[in-house]
Structure formats: structure tokens, C-alpha cells
Amino acid sequence: NVFMGVAAVDYTLMGISEFLHENYINSSTTVAIFEEDDPNYMIATSTGSKTGLKVFKDDNTVACTNFISELCTVVRIKVEDMGTVVPDAKPMDLIVSRAFVRQRNAGFPSDRLVTVKGDGEDDGQGSMNSDLFVSQTIVFELTDAPLKWHVLIVSPAMISDNDAIIAGDPLFGCIIAFSALGTLVCLLLFGAFFRKRNVHAIAMSDWR
């Protein structure tokens, strides 16, 4: 009998964020992980932003700069608030928040992309210099944990004003063929009408 063994690895939420940040730091794609259950707390993000805030226990709206366990606590950040409540938030944090809202309204479809508007700003990495982004969500689930997260992937979309079709385009031949056929049909109809231009027809009907 051979014991196959069990491998288990524990990651902190900060460790997951560091992993995402290191792997996507030079990428225009942003990845965010959040809990499926409402209020959808953040797990990690590739922007490197914090997913928790140190605040006073008596007033969670006031940041606790010098953390004292008796006076301060850590509150988790909802993905919807990433672009507004995070200190020194990155421009892409706001796009992640917007993408989340759009995904939630669409029911988190995993089989299609959901668009989200950008601001056209630049964060120095070229990822924010876009007016349109596309997002997609996939589910990460451990049924025996139980654990269920959503992985949100946001990437800039290319917008082009050039609608020309060049000769090498696969659609070029089809468009030329349909255009020629349409022109031929129009010429045939024009010829038929021209030949019959002196022919008159009288239609009679019995109204009784």
C-alpha cells in the first residue's frame, strides 16, 4: 500500500495580493478577487492596494494611524468601495469598482464580457489610458471548505475609428461580390423599366 499524501498550503490575504501584484505589475490587465456573499469583501487585488482599513473602534470613519489594539480595529473593504475609501487608491481601483457594479447588475456572467467606462487618465503604467474596459468574472470554489470567491479580470479595450476594409481582409471578397451582385440586379431592373416605359396597364375591379 502506498500513501499518496496530502499537500496543503496556507496563504494570507496579503500574500495573495502580493502574488497578484508581482505577476501583473507590468500588465495592462487588472485582477481582483472578492467574496461572493454580500457585501462582497475584497480578498486581493493586483493593484497592490490594501483590502482593509485600520480605524478607531468608536468611529470606523476615522483612520487609526498608530494602531493600538485597545482602541483600533481593522475593517474590511467592499469591492464596490475600492476606488473611494482606499487611501492612495490607484486609478484602476475605481475601474474595478465600476466593473464590479456592472458585473453584479448583469448577474456575473462567466460566458461573456461586460464593458465599463474609463476616465482616460494615465496611472503611469499605461493601464488607465483608455476610455473603455472589458471585464469578466470566473468563480473559484472549494466545496469542502466551504469557500466561494469571484475573480474579476479587467482589461482595456481598443477603440478604433477606422472602419476601412483593405484588400487583404477576409471580408473584402465577400463585400465586393455582394456589391457587384447588387449593382447587377439594379441594372437589370433599370433595363426592364426602361424597355417597358411606353407600356400602359389598366386595372379594373368590380366594387360590387
* Residue 161 forms part of a structural domain: no
Q: What are phi and psi of 16, to 5 degrees?
A: -65, -40
Average pLDDT over residues 25-32: 89
What is the spatial distance between Cα 80 and Cα 105, in angstroms, rounded to a whole number? 12
* Domain assignment of residue 102, yes or no: yes
Question: Which CATH number do you get for residue 131?
Answer: 3.30.450
Return mean pLDDT, the chain.
Answer: 80
Of 122, 139, 140, nearest to 131 by C-alpha is: 122
Check: CB of residue 117 under 8 Å from CB of residue 138.
no
pTM of the model: 0.64
Q: Which tens digits make up the pLDDT trace of 127-185?
A: 455 678 999 999 988 877 778 899 999 998 876 666 666 677 777 788 888 899 999 99
Q: Is residue 202 part of a domain?
A: no
Question: What is the mean predicted confidence (pLDDT) over 30-52?
Answer: 89
Domain-embedded: residue 200: no
Give the count of domains, the chain. 1
pLDDT digits (tens, 9 = 90+) for 115-138: 888 765 444 444 455 678 999 999
In a domain, 199, yes or no: no
Strand partners, 63: 55
179 falls within a domain: no
